[in-house]
Amino acid sequence: MNTLIKTVEVLGIIAFALTGISAARKKGMDIVGVYSVAMITAFGGGSLRDLILNRHPLFWIEHYEYAVLLLVMCLLASGVIAGQFKNSKMIMVVLVLDALGLGFFSASGASVADRLGCAAFVSALLGVTTAVFGGVMRDIICNEVPYVFQRTELYATCSFIGAWCYLAVARGAGNEILAVTACIVVTFTLRMFAIRYKIRLPI
């Protein structure tokens, strides 16, 4: 189960980075811009959470292999897979992986805040922050109003509900792995439904 969760994390990082690469390429950036936006999209949310909660060292500072992995991805994305970003199958794959990442990072943010003794509501907010603020920074750099704040298919809402599931299971059953799994399943399922049926918030 632990290996499965680790796999979800890596897939999530890759998906977040891919959305960054895609956004940066649409703005005509060169590899420096593409790599920077990919890094910020993938690690921005987690870094913001760690700065807010005073946790050091940051994830990507300690595990440099992720920064290298993303550089390789960006180089590939400017070469062999460059033509794939408008391919509808590729778009669907990224959407699915992104939903997995959304679930994983919601759990990761809520878990860190919860263990530091934050109130449940704040822990849920930090779950959402971890999951969505990389994308917010990506959109700010690309000079767009952040996607996640616009009236579009549920995104942060799935993360918020998922984070509460994490907290309920972690506090209720005391089982971390079960809680993370519950959060990923709920977030992912909600997000897929929201995309499929174009569900938006009424207000």
Residue ranges that bind its own copies, judged by CB under 8 A: 24, 27-33, 36-37, 47, 51-54, 56-58, 60-61, 64, 67-68, 75, 78-79, 118-119, 121-122, 125, 136, 140-146, 148-152, 155-157, 200-201, 203
CB of 176 to its own copies, least distance (A): 22
- In the complex with its own copies, the residue whose CB is nearer, 178 or 199, is 199
CB of 177 to its own copies, least distance (A): 26
Q: Which of 144, 142, 134 is nearest to 39 (CA)?
A: 134
CB of 163 to its own copies, least distance (A): 13
- In the complex with its own copies, the residue whose CB is nearer, 32 or 92, is 32
CB of 191 to its own copies, least distance (A): 13
Residue 19: both structure tokens together? 């959305």
- In the complex with its own copies, the residue whose CB is nearer, 11 or 29, is 29
CB of 184 to its own copies, least distance (A): 20
- In the complex with its own copies, the residue whose CB is nearer, 34 or 97, is 34
CB of 145 to its own copies, least distance (A): 5
CB burial of 80-104 (b: ≥16 within 10 Å; e: otherwise) equals eeeeebeeeeeeeebebbbbbbbbb
DSSP string for 77-142: HTTTTGGGGG-HHHHHHHHHHHHHHHHHHHHHHHHHHHHTT--HHHHHHHHHHHHHHHHHHHHHHT
Residue 175: both structure tokens together? 């089982």
- In the complex with its own copies, the residue whose CB is nearer, 33 or 101, is 33
Q: Which of 43, 19, 23, 44 is nearest to 33 (CA)?
A: 23
- In the complex with its own copies, the residue whose CB is nearer, 7 or 27, is 27
Residue 119: both structure tokens together? 């109130």
Q: Which of 41, 203, 33 is nearest to 132 (CA)?
A: 41
